[in-house]
Structure formats: C-alpha cells, structure tokens
Amino acid sequence: MLLIPCPWCGLRPEIEFSYGGEANIARPADPAALTDEEWGAFLYLRTNPKGRHAERWRHANGCGRFFNAVRDTVSDFFETTTKPGELPPSGGKS
Amino acid sequence: MGESVEREGALDLLATATRLAASGPEARLVLRVRPAGVAAASSAFGVDLPTMPCRAERAGACAALWLGPDEWLLLAPAADEGCVAAALEDGLAGHPHSLVTASHRQTAVVVDGARAAALLAIGCPLDLDLAAFPVGMCTRTLFAKAPIVLWRQGVARFRIEVWRSFAPYLWQVLDGGLREGLAE
Ligand SMILES: [Zn+2]
C-alpha cells in the first residue's frame, strides 16, 4: 500500500486520502472579464507532466485537511508534502 | 426507531459472547477552534485539549480527542451534555468557534483482549504496532468501508467511535473476524 506523509498525521495509507488536483491554480480575479477560451483554460487545462507535479491532497479519512504535495507522476514518489501556505523545502513549484 | 433499539439489543447479546462491547450513552461534542482559543476551551471543559496530532487526553470521566489541527471530539458522561456545552460556550465567548453536539450521531464499540490489534487489522489499514500506534493515540480512519475514530486506550484495548448507521456493519465485520478465530 502506498503511504502518503500527511503534514499533520505522518505516514498514512493512501486509502485515507482523496486527490485534489493540480496545486497553485489561481482563480482569476474577475471571471466576467475573461473570454470563453480563457475561462475554459482556467477550468480544464492542466500541465499534466510526466515527472514532478505540484498537487493538492486531502486527508479525508484522517485529519480532514487539505495540503500540498510534490509527487513524481512516474514513480508515485512523494517528494514533499506541506501545509497550506508553506513552501516546499526543496523549492518545488509553488 | 424500534429497529435501531432491536439492533442495539442484538449488539449487547453478542457482546457477552465475544470481546466486543457496545458502549452506553455518552455526551459527544465536536469543537472547532483556532489555537488562540485552545486554552480557554481546555479550562472550560476541564481537559487539556491535545495539540499534538492524533492524541487523546483524559481527565476524570471526560476525554478530548484530536481530530484535526483545529478540531476535537469531546466525550463526557451523558448527563453532563448540557452543562459541558454551556461551559464551553461561556469559556469561548470572544473566540470564533463551532461547537456541535453529536451524542446521538455516533456510538462506540470497545475491542478488548490480547488479540485486539490483530482483530482490528482485518479492516483497519493502519499499523497498529505499539511503536506506531501507542496507547493514547487516536485518529479518524477507516474500518473496512466505515469511517471511524479509533482510540487506543490500553495496550490491548481500543475504542471505536462509529456513526450509528454504520454500527451494525462494523459489528458484523468484527464479529465475523472473531468467529474466524482471529481472537482466542
Ligand atoms: Zn492528516
């Protein structure tokens, strides 16, 4: 079983977590000013990298909190996990 | 209503034959408050709210279980529900918080016996070795398909808080484990 390090609870089994998608997607300040293409890009276009990926997870069946992670999408290796607002120590995409 | 009473009766019946026990009525409150309000909540409740993740603290008949960085499950005798809630509301005046009474939402099952951890392992994905899950540790987790709060009260004693509607399911899975001979 894949173990994910929750920033509060420590190493916990993957089954307790839910995936929250790519991290650091800023919501446009004024959505009404956007074209349909720009709004569509905000909603749906993601980097989908092969390799390091900054993403959000929620420890849904644990402490219940969202946090940020840098995970390798090839190996599933979790490089870092950080509380919201913290920067990854390794300087991952923030 | 009648059905749930009957089911509880069945749980008690099974409890005499196994090392599972359904707990009686209890006051349960879920408190959410920021760090600034923790000291006030602790003195109002009479138990130091643990700030270390996944730890439970007891004082007398009351207990505070860490559920999240700003969230605790508070347990107290059933008769004290009203005065505990009132004391917390008083003590937390001025601190933004949320205090929800959940006494009847949940019930508890106690798993007690030398092989309690082995029995729980049939449905719980956590490492229940004493080094990884020491006495006094508590956490939300899963048991089979049911969300639970698991609290290790002793080396071989666990308390499971479970939503009422999941209780018969939880009991049946645990009882099935006992019948398969996981416990002596
Ligand atoms: Zn957690």
Residue B172 lies in a domain: yes
Domain-located, residue B152: yes
In a domain, B142, yes or no: yes
Q: How confident is the model at residue B3 (pLDDT cuts 50, 70, 90)?
A: very low
* Per-residue model confidence (pLDDT) at position A4: 98
Q: Is B16 a member of any domain?
A: no
Q: Percent of chain B scored above 70 by pLDDT?
A: 88
Range of the domain at B163: 105-180
The segments of chain A whose pLDDT lies below 50 read: 92-94
Asked whether residue B94 falls in the same domain as residue B78, the answer is yes
Rounded mean pLDDT, B65-76: 98
**How much is the average pLDDT of B89-99?**
97
DSSP-assigned states of every residue in B101-112: E-TTTEEEEEEE
Q: Is residue B4 assigned to a domain?
A: no
The residue out of B80, B101, B122 marking a domain boundary is B101
Q: Which of B35-44, B114-123, B175-184 has the lowest mean pLDDT?
A: B175-184
Query: B143 falls in which pLDDT band (50, 70, 90)?
Result: very high
* Interchain proximity B125–A13, CB inside 8 Å: yes
Each residue's pLDDT tens digit, B162-173: 999 999 999 999
Domain boundary among B42, B71, B101: B101
Cβ partners under 8 Å of residue B111, min gap 6 = B19, B20, B119, B120, B157, B158, B159, B160, B174
Distance, in Å, from the CA atom of A92 to the CA atom of B5, rounded to the nearest integer, reads 55
Query: Both B89 and B123 in a single domain?
Result: no
B173 part of a folded domain? yes
List chain A residues with CB under 8 Å of B140: 61-64
Q: Find the closest chain A residue to B73 by CA distance.
A: A63
Domain CATH for B91: 3.30.70.1520
Whether pTM > 0.90 for this model: the answer is no
Q: Does residue B97 share a domain with residue B30?
A: yes
Total domains in the fold of chain B = 2
Q: Tell me which chain B residues have a C-beta less than 8 angstroms from the C-beta of A65.
A: 68-69
Q: Which domains does chain A have, with CATH numbers?
A: 3-82 (3.30.2270.10)
Average pLDDT over residues B47-67: 97
Task: Answer whether residue B73 is part of any domain.
Answer: yes
Same domain, B65 and B114: no
| Tens of pLDDT, residues B124-139 | 999 999 999 999 999 9
Describe chain A by its helix, strand, coil percentages, rounded to 5: 15, 35, 50
For the stretch B10-24, pLDDT in tens is: 444 344 334 778 788
